[in-house]
Structure 1
Amino acid sequence: MQNKPLDGLRVTDFGWILSIPHATAWLGTLGADVIRVETEVRLDLIRVQGMNRGIDGVMGLNRSGAFNGLNYSKRGVTLNLQKPEGHDLALRLVEQSDIVTENFSTGVIDRLGLGYEELCKVRPDLIMLSGSPVGLTGPEAMATGWGPTTLAYTGLPWITGYRGGPPAAYGGAYPDFMIGVQMVFSILVALHERERTGKGQHIDLSMAETVAAMTPEPLLDHEFNGRDATRDGNRHPVFAPQGVYRTAGDDTWIAISVETDEQWAALVDAMGSPEWALGADLGTAAGRRARHDDVDDGITAWTRGHETHGLAGLLQSYGIPAAPSWGPRDLAADGMLRERGYLTPIGHAEVGEREVAGLPSRFSAMPELAYGPAPMLGEHNREVFRDLLGVPEEEYERLRADGVIG
């Protein structure tokens, strides 16, 4: 189909939490048949959020906003992989799949008898992606962790924070979504290579290495120049001033970054040429950095008298890099994301139509992408096990009763 470039590909998705669900939602939206494999023995922690933070205040396993927003464009089944018959059904599903994804703790997939070597016995040209905190090999391979602890391996918290303060974490979600994008990229590369050679492969993706690759300057500066980066808040090592400044309103802010002396002169003009900003020592970036605290105080005294969005427009008209610092409510209220189709409505059988964060790319040949809802728990069990795998009705009901399917 025109808006499904990955039509004809099937993904067996053993992933959970954030990064792999994010990646496979994109693959599903681009046309792949993604079958999300869950188990009722240990439910996805993001799905479980629906039991204490359900959509519209109604609790339920199908009412997690985070789960539904991360797992759109997929089918969903429940399967107990610890039972021999569950393991066998998983192999049958993999046999009819092009791609397998998983992000269990290192070694778990092998102990389940579903490691890459085993899966290649039923699907020799399989592409398998394994995501882990620091990779499947190396001295820290057995490390387990979540977003904040994985970030600690990357050096990013070390350079984040205020001068004299401790390293600052970004929270659990920050790395996962960029890691999901890297997973999509890696899978598409492997698919291209399989088209060229006919061979599949195992992709070992390190979350920590992905984040380190996104912020390479500190590591490169150390390797090439022997310098260790220090924490300096929102400030730039060369440009000045740079920061996030309060504006009129309750907890409203604007980001401003002055990169040249000409932009500083424009900022002084925009502020009405206050006396404090006219000193000759502020005519250079070095001078402004030396008095950054004073400059920040002066800018804040001015920005506090202006509304954020209008001030950003004013500064941009002067050629000064500036933008409102938006929170989620601001992003949802602004028409930009909705008009461009990033916030896209998707219907759901239990919670109705809701907006989710879709793909951030606009394709000229695919103006409408093939979004579909997130699966309810076990929603497609019959469709997948009976229709796709051909499990007879009597056996299917027995497997359900025995807790194999479930």
Structure 2
Amino acid sequence: MSRPLDGISVLDLGQIYQGGYCGLLLSYLGADVVKVEPPWGENVRTRSEDGKPPQVQFLNANKRGITLDLKSAAGREALVDLAAEADVLLENFATGKMDELGVGYDTLSEANPELVYAHGSGYGDSGPYADYPAMDLTVQAMSGLIHTTGFPDGDPVKAGPAVCDFLGAVHLALGITSALFERSRTGEGRYVEVGMYDCMYPTLASPVSAHVSRSDAPPRTGNQHSGLAIAPYNVYPTDEGYVAIICISERHWEALATRIGREDLVGVEGYDSKSARAERRETVDDAVTAWLDGRRTDEVVDQLLGDGVPCAPVQTVEDVIDDEHLEDRGMIHRLPNQGEGRSEVPVPGMPIKFAGVAEPTVEQAPLLGEHTEEVLAEIAGYGPEELERLRTET
């Protein structure tokens, strides 16, 4: 059973998370993805002394790995030779860096007019911020994500996961697949670029709506709805943990109010609509909190789910990597750890499912430069002399 990108070859010069995850998605879609690193390894390898941190293994499964020194003439020549035969090249260096090295889009597209060249960055190729150095943390700050995260009486707080990196990666993968689709009709490649900052603005739908419609809306709302437009919408304490509860429809609210013994709040003025309840958030939350007092999380979740009320326990990272649903969905693959720490790395699987197509087999991330000679011989046609020249000149 074929996968959508079977037969597509990708040169993945991605680093850290944005580039790494984009390449991982393409590999799961069926592409032959070759991870290209400098001889000393990409930046994320510095997060452990042995150069094999879990992050590298987490995001580079199913790829082959080579090393090229793009500061050397031989390394740049090898990249051009590989790009001449590839379908896609992706990278997330600082804007303009590849051009400085002499292997930017103009050079590589001349060698291969059908090449889809994809560039991920923090702020994109144009605009006042284009040259700003950018990482997930700084884009979180610039995008308003940090300002809108936390409690009203507390300091702004960054989101735990690297949301900017991963949203940027997904958008970059979408741009690549769209360009490949276009190429199937035109026969021509395309330059594609994605700035993480651009990707974050749409996520502010609720805070921006609150700004437009409610001048008194605080920037940070804790675990309440970021637009203060829904109640209940919160994370509540139980006897030994926390549970998230939200009521989107009237039937949700009626079922919850009945469960907690507050039928007096059903269908009465002030609680008979979503917006009315949102104006009385404290009363609603107090009623839910009072009912939860002394109850276990699992008991609460079982009862509310049985009533059709959207809710979930607040799981720990340890809970998530052992989650039976993720296991059933093929989202966790336990591969031997190549570095220090626990014996296994729970590598993520493919979130996109295709009917009639088996889940991709997930193989270990390559060691640094593991497939250099194999890839150069197979794709660029390098023989012993060219390989020896590359070794001696880089």
TM-score, scaled relative to structure 2: 0.89
Could you say if the C-alpha distance between residues 190 and 228 of structure 1 is closer, same or farther in structure 2, counting changes exceeding 3 Å?
farther
Q: 2:51 aligns with which of 58, 61, 66?
A: 61
Comparing 237-246 with 156-165, which one deviates more in the overlay? 156-165
Residue 395 of structure 1 and its aligned partner are, at CA, apart by: 4.3
**2:348: which partner in 1?**
357
Deviations 1:278-331 (A, max 9, x none): 996763456644543354344224324222233112112223221112121112
The yes-or-no answer on 1:315 pairing with 2:313 is no
Aligned residues: 388
Residue 175 of structure 1 and its aligned partner are, at CA, apart by: 1.8
Could you say if the C-alpha distance between residues 229 and 384 of structure 1 is closer, same or farther in structure 2, counting changes exceeding 3 Å?
farther
Residue 372 of structure 1 and its aligned partner are, at CA, apart by: 2.6
Deviations 1:61-109 (A, max 9, x none): 23x2111011111110111100111111111111111111111111211
Matches within 5 A, 1:31-46: 31-41=30-40, 43-46=41-44
Comparing 262-271 with 177-186, which one deviates more in the overlay? 262-271
Matches within 5 A, 1:1-400: 2-41=1-40, 43-51=41-49, 60-62=50-52, 64-171=53-160, 173-219=162-208, 230-231=218-219, 232-236=221-225, 237-249=228-240, 252-260=241-249, 262-273=251-262, 283-284=271-272, 285=274, 288-346=277-335, 354-400=345-391
Q: Helix, strand or coil: the match of 1:283?
A: coil
Amino acid paired to 2:309: I
- Tell me the percent identity: 34
Residue 385 of structure 1 and its aligned partner are, at CA, apart by: 2.3
Whether the 8 Å contact between 2:54 and 2:345 is mirrored in structure 1 is no
Could you say if the C-alpha distance between residues 216 and 379 of structure 1 is closer, same or farther in structure 2, counting changes exceeding 3 Å?
same
Rounded Cα–Cα distance in structure 2 between residues aligned with 1:217 and 1:292: 17
Rounded Cα–Cα distance in structure 2 between residues aligned with 1:349 and 1:234: 38
Rounded Cα–Cα distance in structure 2 between residues aligned with 1:298 and 1:336: 31
Deviations 1:331-380 (A, max 9, x none): 22331110121113446777986431111123221123243321111100
Whether the 8 Å contact between 1:14 and 1:38 is mirrored in structure 2 is yes
Rounded Cα–Cα distance in structure 2 between residues aligned with 1:50 and 1:314: 45
Could you say if the C-alpha distance between residues 326 and 389 of structure 1 is closer, same or farther in structure 2, counting changes exceeding 3 Å?
same
CA RMSD of aligned residues (A): 2.8
Residue 146 of structure 1 and its aligned partner are, at CA, apart by: 0.8
Rounded Cα–Cα distance in structure 2 between residues aligned with 1:319 and 1:354: 36
Q: Helix, strand or coil: the match of 2:95?
A: coil
Could you say if the C-alpha distance between residues 151 and 339 of structure 1 is closer, same or farther in structure 2, counting changes exceeding 3 Å?
same
Whether the 8 Å contact between 2:69 and 2:75 is mirrored in structure 1 is yes
Residue 25 of structure 1 and its aligned partner are, at CA, apart by: 0.9
Could you say if the C-alpha distance between residues 76 and 304 of structure 1 is closer, same or farther in structure 2, counting changes exceeding 3 Å?
farther
Runs of at least 5 residues in structure 2 that lack an aligned partner in the other structure: none
Whether the 8 Å contact between 2:54 and 2:339 is mirrored in structure 1 is no
Could you say if the C-alpha distance between residues 340 and 132 of structure 1 is closer, same or farther in structure 2, counting changes exceeding 3 Å?
same
Whether the 8 Å contact between 1:345 and 1:356 is mirrored in structure 2 is yes
Deviations 1:192-225 (A, max 9, x none): 0000111111111111111212334544676x76
Could you say if the C-alpha distance between residues 165 and 268 of structure 1 is closer, same or farther in structure 2, counting changes exceeding 3 Å?
same
Could you say if the C-alpha distance between residues 220 and 138 of structure 1 is closer, same or farther in structure 2, counting changes exceeding 3 Å?
farther
Rounded Cα–Cα distance in structure 2 between residues aligned with 1:298 and 1:225: 27
Comparing 82-91 with 205-214, which one deviates more in the overlay? 205-214
Residue 110 of structure 1 and its aligned partner are, at CA, apart by: 0.7
Rounded Cα–Cα distance in structure 2 between residues aligned with 1:229 and 1:34: 47
Runs of at least 5 residues in structure 1 that lack an aligned partner in the other structure: 52-59
Amino acid paired to 2:144: G
Q: Helix, strand or coil: the match of 2:114?
A: coil
Rounded Cα–Cα distance in structure 2 between residues aligned with 1:337 and 1:8: 29
